[in-house]
């Protein structure tokens, strides 16, 4: 019995089984995200802790160097010391140096020494070493920091390698009465004292590695010194791995985690006074990272399991209370959709919402049974299946409007039978529409042989004017091919006239509550229609307005045809004949249009004789050019009856 119920559950489609699966996927996804984000926070926390230690180490090193610099600067101002050095008197300097050494040695200083130049000696020599009083008069010429201090005449400080090892040293020139009498050098121990400072602040175990082994007379050890309870375990007298050395010499600290020992390891490079990284500090300390990571994993698994069990129980409960009644309601809805309205709906429902839905559906069945008596059932079924209603609406947009019709269509239609006319018009409209749609246009309506279309709605396009012009040119070219085919078949050839205008119009679902149409309205639409009609005056095929031209790229051939005031308007509008794309005209065509432009300029400048001369010359090249004939006639009329001073070249059309 129980097996049968579970089988039914898993056979359901679009039910709580799918909801259950989606919930589980979502739960797993959220758990994974939680785990990754928590691990990321843990990693960031660990990186922040490491950054604090690294920054603290560099700060403490700066403190040590500043301490060394401070002692050196202070002693460089000690007059008795300077006097003893200037006199080359070791007995005089000894008690003073011993007292100073007693004060600074416990602080971690490993070096306090003075350099002078004996009489008749060209070299600087060590005069007195507080740490080794018995050793003196050896040359200081091979000490880079002393040489640098001598050349710069200023203090030189930083990590330095000497004969006794590395240290943070400060070398300062000594002057008495503006005369250099020697150098003073202080050195802070690079060893236990420094490492113990780090242990005190950060715990763990610390070690110093020499990255410049084999240099000078320093003890050739990789491990210079180490401190900490676990130093024997983690620090060996071996150079670190190659990748660690490479990173250290580039001055980049490294951080690692060792899961087997549950520790973190930091490698912190230290540079010498010359800017080279020659010392590497290694820190090994305990970390809670791996314990925290294990805890996060366990929590994520526990959350996932608890979520699975809890959601399973909820889904089963919701399935019994919601899915089963809804499946029955879906069946009843399909019956209503098919207009099977007999009988009442009897579905057991425990939720008040479902009870209300059952009651509402019963009431709907009663209402539809009554409604069926007033109108045909087939119409009601159609309305129910559609399930939506379109409202009248519109918005203002900038579009390019296209109007076209067939020249002398009335004469052509009189020569054809209705079937012949219908067949040829259908072929024509199909070809023109295909081209319009190909270029992204929207066909608004067919008005007999005319086509109204627009670009820019419902799909917005920045190049709507360009696409409209390309469509117009292609329509014209295609119609010429069709005309040849029709002529060879004994059918009349069509010649189309096209007008294009760009402007802000209202576009949308326009109409009444009874009928709507997706169309465009406004003055730019009317102007496009007027431009299409003006083709008849100039014997042209495509006329565009100035607003269209303003949005076109420089890839079309056109000519200024006229400046007109169309019927119903008061403002003059420059109009242009759109000829073709630039690559499709011959050299003679380009020359003709250039000459035509000059002739029009003469016309606009009221130089009637020059204009007549130029237009007549153009007629000699193209005797059928109607625009030239029109301008010649106007020029002759304006010679006898000149236009007013405010005339700007416009011509008023009193007919459409």
Tell me what the mean pLDDT of segment 519-530 comes to: 92
Q: Flag whether pLDDT at 328 surpasses 80.
A: no
**Whether residues 594 and 574 fall in one domain:** no
Residue 170 placed within a domain: no
Task: Count the domains in the chain.
Answer: 3
190 versus 6: the higher-pLDDT residue is 190
Range of the domain at 622: 586-656
Cβ neighbors of 335 (< 8 A, separation 6 or more) are: 341
For residues 559 and 603, state if they share a domain: no
CA distance 127 to 99: 17
pLDDT given at position 384: 55
> Same structural domain for residues 571 and 500?
yes
pLDDT value of residue 155: 93
Both 625 and 483 in one domain: the answer is: no
The answer as to whether 611 is a domain residue is yes
Q: For position 432, which CATH number holds?
A: 3.30.70.1230
593-644: pLDDT as tens digits:
899 999 999 998 989 999 899 999 999 899 999 999 999 998 999 888 888 8
Q: Is the pLDDT of residue 22 over 70?
A: yes
How does DSSP assign 289-348, residue by residue? HHHHHHHHHHHHHHHHHHHHHHHHHHHHHHIIIIIHHHHHHHHHHHHHHTT---S-----
Q: Which of 225, 255, 287 is where one domain is finished?
A: 287
| pTM exceeds 0.75, yes or no | no
- Integer Cα distance of 53 and 61 in angstroms: 12
- Per-residue pLDDT of 56-94, as tens digits, reads 888 988 988 899 899 999 998 998 999 988 888 899 999
Neighbouring CB atoms inside 10 A of 9's CB total 17
Q: Are residues 450 and 546 in the same domain?
A: yes
CA-based nearest residue to 268, from 258, 259, 287, 255 = 255
DSSP 8-state assignment for residue 638:
H
* Residue 267 is assigned to a structural domain of this protein: yes
Q: What local confidence, expressed as pLDDT, does residue 378 receive?
A: 40
Same-domain pairing of 571 and 444: yes
CATH number for 215: 3.30.450.40
Mean of the per-residue pLDDT values of the chain: 84
Nearest-angstrom CA–CA distance, 380 and 345: 21
In this structure, of 113-127, 289-303, 446-460, 609-623, the range with the lowest mean pLDDT score is 289-303
Are both 528 and 480 inside the same structural domain? yes
β-partners of residue 511 are: 516
| Same-domain pairing of 554 and 597 | no
pLDDT at 400 over 50: yes
Whole-number pLDDT of residue 375: 42
Average pLDDT of the residues in 524-530: 93
Q: Residue 129 pairs with which residues in a beta bridge?
A: 113
Determine the Cα–Cα distance for residues 343 and 318; give it in Å rounded to an integer: 28
Report the C-alpha gap between 181 and 125 in whole angstroms. 12
* 399, pLDDT greater than 90: yes
160 in a structural domain: no
The per-residue pLDDT for 440 is 92
Does 389 fall in a domain?
no
pLDDT of residue 237: 86
Residues 100-109, mean pLDDT to the nearest whole number: 91
């Amino acid at each position: 019995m129980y097996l049968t119920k579970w089988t039914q559950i898993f056979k359901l489609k679009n039910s709580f089984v799918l909801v259950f699966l989606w919930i589980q996927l979502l739960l797993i996804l959220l758990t994974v995200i939680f785990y990754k984000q928590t691990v990321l926070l843990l990693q960031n926390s660990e990186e922040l802790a490491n950054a604090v230690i690294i920054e603290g180490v560099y700060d403490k090193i700066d403190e040590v160097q500043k301490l060394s610099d401070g002692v050196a600067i202070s002693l460089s101002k000690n007059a008795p010391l300077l006097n003893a050095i200037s006199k080359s008197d070791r007995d005089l300097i000894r008690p003073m140096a011993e007292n100073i050494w007693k004060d600074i040695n416990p602080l971690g200083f490993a070096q306090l020494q003075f350099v002078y130049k004996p009489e008749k000696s060209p070299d600087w020599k060590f005069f007195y070493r507080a740490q080794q009083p018995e050793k003196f008069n050896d040359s200081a010429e091979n000490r880079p920091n002393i040489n640098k201090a001598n050349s710069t005449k200023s203090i030189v400080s930083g990590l330095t390698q000497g004969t006794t090892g590395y240290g943070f040293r400060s070398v300062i020139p000594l002057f008495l009465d503006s005369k250099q009498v020697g150098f003073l050098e202080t050195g802070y121990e690079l060893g236990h004292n420094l490492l113990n400072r780090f242990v005190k602040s950060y715990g763990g175990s610390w070690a110093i590695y020499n990255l410049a082994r084999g240099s000078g007379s320093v003890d050739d050890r990789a491990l210079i010194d180490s401190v900490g309870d676990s130093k024997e375990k983690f620090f060996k007298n071996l150079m670190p791995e190659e990748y660690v050395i490479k990173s250290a010499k580039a001055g980049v600290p490294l951080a690692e985690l060792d899961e087997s020992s549950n520790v973190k390891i930091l490698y912190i490079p230290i540079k010498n006074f010359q800017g080279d990284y020659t010392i590497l500090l290694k820190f090994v300390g305990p970390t809670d990272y791996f314990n925290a990571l294990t805890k996060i994993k366990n929590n994520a698994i526990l959350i996932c399991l608890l979520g699975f069990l809890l959601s399973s129980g909820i889904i089963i409960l919701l399935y019994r209370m919601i899915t089963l009644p809804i499946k029955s309601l879906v069946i009843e809805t399909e019956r209503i959709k098919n207009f099977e309205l007999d009988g009442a709906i009897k579905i057991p429902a425990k939720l008040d919402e479902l009870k209300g839905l059952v009651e509402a559906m019963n009431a709907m069945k009663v209402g539809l049974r009554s409604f069926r008596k007033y109108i045909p059932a087939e119409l009601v079924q159609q309305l129910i299946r559609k399930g939506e209603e379109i409202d009248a609406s519109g918005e203002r947009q900038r579009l390019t409007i296209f109007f076209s019709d067939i020249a002398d269509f009335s004469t052509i239609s009189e020569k054809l039978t209705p079937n012949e006319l219908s067949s040829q018009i259908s072929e024509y409209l199909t070809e023109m529409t295909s081209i319009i749609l190909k270029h992204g246009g929207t066909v608004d309506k067919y008005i007999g042989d005319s086509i109204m279309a627009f670009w820019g709605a419902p799909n917005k396009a920045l190049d709507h004017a360009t696409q409209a012009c390309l469509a117009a040119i292609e329509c014209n070219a295609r119609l010429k091919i069709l005309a040849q085919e029709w002529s060879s078949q004994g059918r009349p050839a069509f010649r189309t006239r096209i007008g294009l205008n760009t402007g802000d119009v209202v576009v949308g679902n326009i109409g009444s509550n009874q009928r709507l149409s997706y169309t465009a309205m406004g003055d730019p639409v009317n102007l496009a229609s007027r431009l299409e009609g003006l083709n008849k005056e100039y014997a042209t095929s495509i006329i565009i307005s100035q607003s269209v031209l303003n949005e076109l790229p420089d890839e079309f051939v056109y000519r200024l045809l006229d400046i007109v005031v169309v019927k119903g308007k008061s403002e003059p509008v420059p109009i242009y004949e759109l000829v073709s794309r630039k690559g499709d005209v011959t050299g003679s065509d380009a020359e003709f249009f250039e000459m035509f432009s000059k002739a029009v300029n003469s016309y606009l400048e009221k130089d009637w004789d020059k204009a007549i001369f130029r237009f007549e010359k153009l007629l000699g090249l193209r005797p059928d050019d109607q625009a030239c004939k029109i301008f010649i006639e106007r020029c002759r009329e304006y010679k006898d009856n000149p236009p007013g001073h405010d005339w700007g070249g416009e011509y008023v059309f009193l007919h459409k």
